[in-house]
Amino acid sequence: MAEERSGAVTMRGNPLTLVGAELKAGDKAPGFTLIGKGLKPVTLDEFKGKVKIISTIPSVDTPVCDAETRRFNEEAAKLPANVEVLTVSMDLPFAQARWCGAAGVDKVTTLSDYRGANFGAAYGVLIKELYLLARVVFVVDKNDKITYAEYVKEVAEQPNFEAALEAARKAAA
């Protein structure tokens, strides 16, 4: 049974439980298999040698997640070529593709954890009560070591974009 962190985050002030251990800078990024476009499995190994900004969100169909994903898409164009931006949610890949098309988001890779929430538990971002992912940003270097992690305490708030982008630029240098 995975570790549970009661009250690790809140949603509109209500405490929620995160499943899995909290990952920190210096930890090795756990391997994963998520579902991408066309229901194709996508693994961490597919991004070997690249810096990854991994943004986890509850759903692209909510205003805060929509704004966050659009911002990372905008920023992705300004980042070094060896930086990949991944947005992970429990949304089905069909919904992610529809949303990206409607929003004009084309520089972020959306991935789904809907098959078992294994990523959510491994990265300590699965909200037990809602079976959704919390708002968290990880920066993972070329060697799959986490160099930055922000678990946003209040799920309805945006992450610290500047700190995450700075960490990604530093890891890419």
Q: What is the set of active-site residues? A: 65
Q: What is the CA radius of gyration of the chain?
A: 15
3-state helix/strand/coil string of 41-101: EEEHHHHCCCEEEEEECCCCCCHHHHHHHHHHHHHHCCCCCCEEEEEEECCCHHHHHHHHH
Largest CA distance in the chain: 41
Taking residue 8's Cβ as centre, other Cβ atoms within 10 Å add up to 20
